[in-house]
Amino acid sequence: MRYKISTVDKKSVVETNEWTKDSHSIRFETLWGWGWVEVTTKPNLSKYDEDEGIDILDEFDPVDQELSGDGGGDVEYSESMSDADIEEVEAILEEDGESGLLEAGWEPGDREVIFRGPLKVEKIK
């Protein structure tokens, strides 16, 4: 059996990705318009708080997912990074995206996907 958990309201998904290299770190926060995940166990959302949200990746083991409708985001660089370091990272991202970070020796770290607001749960298989 599979269940699909979807956001109902627009711009109710926040994805955060962290990357590290040496003593430096980068944190990307992206606001998405919509999102859904498929899970294999019936979700128990009895304690779900719409304002606080839920980390879908921490709470469930998704077998499929989609985030769409990019609503923008922020990038935070560690204080240990110089202006030249930041310019280098921005050039890599512009040219090759996250695959460029991997090639430049950056390591992906924690990732979270927070759904907030009302959620829709459907039995799909």
Checking if the pLDDT of 125 tops 80, the result is: no
**Per-residue pLDDT tens digits for 64-113:** 999 999 778 899 999 999 999 999 999 999 999 889 999 999 999 999 99
For residue 86, CA distances in Å to 82, 89, 91, 96, 106 come to 6, 5, 9, 15, 13
For the chain, what are the domain ranges? 3-78+110-123
| Residues 19-60 pLDDT 10s | 999 999 999 999 999 999 999 999 999 999 999 999 999 999
User: pTM for the whole thing?
Assistant: 0.87
At residue 72, the pLDDT reads 83
Residue 122 has pLDDT above 80, yes or no: yes
